Structure 1
C-alpha cells in the first residue's frame, strides 16, 4: 500500500459478527423456520433503518431490530409472543464472531482500532464485551450519538471526528456493499469483506480492496 493508514475502522454486523447465528435459537423456537427467520429479519432490519433515515423518523437500532423481528415473524405467518421476541433479541447480544477476528486484531500493530456501527450502545456494548474482543478497540462508535444512520455522510463524519484523523488516514471495513459505497463516497479508504461472493455495487464507488474474510487485512499492517 502506497500510503500508510492510521486507523482501522470495522463495521460490526456481518463484518465482525455473524448476524445469522441467530438462526440456531430461531430454529429452536420455530422448528423448520430458523433460516427463513434469520434472513427475513436481517433484510427488514436494514430496510427499516434506511426508511427511518429517509423519513426523518430515527429510533435506536435496538428498536429497529425489534420491529424488524416482529415483522419477519408475521411475514412468515408464525406465532408472535413477547417471550419469543425477548429471547431472540437476547441472542443479538451474544452473536458469534467470525473465527479469524481474534487473530487479525492481534496482528494489526499500533494502529488505532475502532468499530463504527448503526447499532445503538445498548446492543453494541454488551455484544463486544461478551465476545472477549473489547480490549482490542480504542473506540466503539455508534450512529446513535448523532441519530444519523449509515450510509449518510453525517454518520461517517461523526466517526472521523471521533477518531481525530483525516479521511485518507482511515481504512473502513464492512461486509455490506452499501456501507462500503457510503464510506468510499465520504472519502475513507475501504476494504470490502465480501463474505457472500457478491458483485461490486454498480455505483462507481468501488472498494480499494476486496477480501473473502478479514485475513486479507493483514497486508495493511
Structure 2
C-alpha cells in the first residue's frame, strides 16, 4: 500500500507514543510499590481493557487504572487509596518524549491536520501537549470515552475520522508505538506509521505499518520526502 504525498490527517496515539512512561518506575517506588512493577501494571491495564471491550463493555481508563493499582497495593501498603492516587498523579504528569514538540511542529508545517486519539482521558492528552508547548498546534484531542469502543476496535478509529470530517480512511495516517494500535488502524483502512524509538522487532502477527520511523520528527521528514 503506497502512501499519498501527504495524509490529510495525522492521528497520534498518546500513551507511550507521546508520553514518556519511564518516570513511572520511580513513582511506583515512592508510593510504596516496586519500581519494576510499572511496566507490567500498564500492560495489565491494557490487557484487562481489551478483554472487557471484547466482552462488550466500555471501560473507563481512569477507573481501570485506579482499581488495578488498588489490587496491587492490597495488603502491601497502609493506605492503598493514597498509593493509587500518588501513582495516578504521576501518570497525569508524565513528560513528553523529546521529539514530540519538534515532531508536531514539523508535521503541522507540512500543512497536514494533527489530532490525538487516546484510550485515556482527553484532559490528560491536553495537559501533556501543554507541557510540550504544542497544544495550539493540535486540532483535537480525541478519546475513546466518546467512541463506541477502545482502540484497537475499528470503531474507535472510524469515530476519530467522523469527528474530524474525514470520509476516506485512506486519507488519514495513525502513528503509534504499539503494534496492536498500528494493526487496528490498518484493519480500519487508515495508513499507518510505527514509531520505533528503541530499535525493536515488529511482530509478524500484526498487520505491517506503511512506515517505520524512529521519532515524530523522522515521520515528518519521511512524509516531506514523499
**TM-score where L is the length of structure 1:** 0.89
How far residue 214 of structure 1 moved from its aligned partner, in angstroms, is 2.1
| Residue 183 of structure 1, aligned match among 166, 180, 185 | 185
1:141 is matched with 142
Secondary structure of 1:97 counterpart: coil
**Residue of structure 2 equivalent to 1:10:** 12
User: Matched residues in 2 for 1:17 and 1:155: separation?
Assistant: 20
Between the aligned partners of 2:199 and 2:80, the Cα distance in structure 1 is 36
| Deviation at residue 115 of structure 1 after TM alignment | 0.3
**Partner residue of 2:103?**
104
- Name 2:48's counterpart in structure 1: 48
CA distances 1:7-30 after superposition (whole Å, capped 9, x unpaired)? 111000110101232222222233
The count of corresponding residues between Structure 1 and Structure 2 is: 217
TM-score, normalised relative to structure 2: 0.87
Post-superposition shift, 1:132? 3.0
Q: Using a 3 Å threshold, how does the CA distance of structure 1 residues 123 and 4 change in structure 2: closer, same or farther? A: closer
- How far apart, CA to CA, are the structure 2 residues paired with 1:60 and 1:204? 26
Contact 1:94-1:127 at 8 Å conserved across structures: yes
User: Helix, strand or coil: the match of 2:22?
Assistant: helix
Q: Give CA-to-partner distance per residue, 1:55-105, whole Å, 9 cap, x none.
A: 22222111121122233445xx74252111111111111101100111111
The aligned counterpart of 1:174 is 176
Partner of 1:63: 63
* 1:117 CA displacement: 0.8
Please give the per-residue CA displacement for 1:122-176, whole angstroms capped at 9, x wherever unaligned: 5333343344331121011111102410111111110111121221111110000
1:66-77 equivalences under 5 Å are: 66-73=66-73
- Indicate whether 1:113 and 2:118 are aligned: no
- Change beyond 3 A, Cα 1:124–1:102: closer
